[in-house]
Structure 1
Amino acid sequence: MTGQDDKSTREERLAAKLRENLRRRKAQTRALDSRTLDSRETGEDGLPKEGDDS
């Protein structure tokens, strides 16, 4: 392999990893957003109420 081939292969690998990372972060954000939306709809904030012994 020449230096140019190594560079392009490395750039392709990095681009693929960046795309994978972006997809994962978007999925995490969607999951957090939907969980936040669900708690707003039910009126729950995820915290126990004072005096609740459950």
Structure 2
Amino acid sequence: MFEIFYTVGRGYWWHLKAGNAEVLCHSEMYASKQGAQNGIDAVKRIAPGAPVYDRT
């Protein structure tokens, strides 16, 4: 699930959480809530087809 947060003077950001509530990733800071939502929408659109590169 995605969660949107707000901090006064800094802006909005989001977390992507797993089913066990562990934070998988977080976003950059956005000036507006709509910007944060647009970031979530972009991840939802791009992530299903994102390749995985093993750099080990």
**TM band (smaller chain):** 0.3 to 0.5
Q: TM-score, normalised by structure 1?
A: 0.32
Q: TM-score, normalised by structure 2?
A: 0.31
Question: Which of the two has greater strand per residue?
Answer: 2
Question: Which of the two has greater helix per residue?
Answer: 1
Question: Which structure has the larger Rg over C-alpha atoms?
Answer: 1
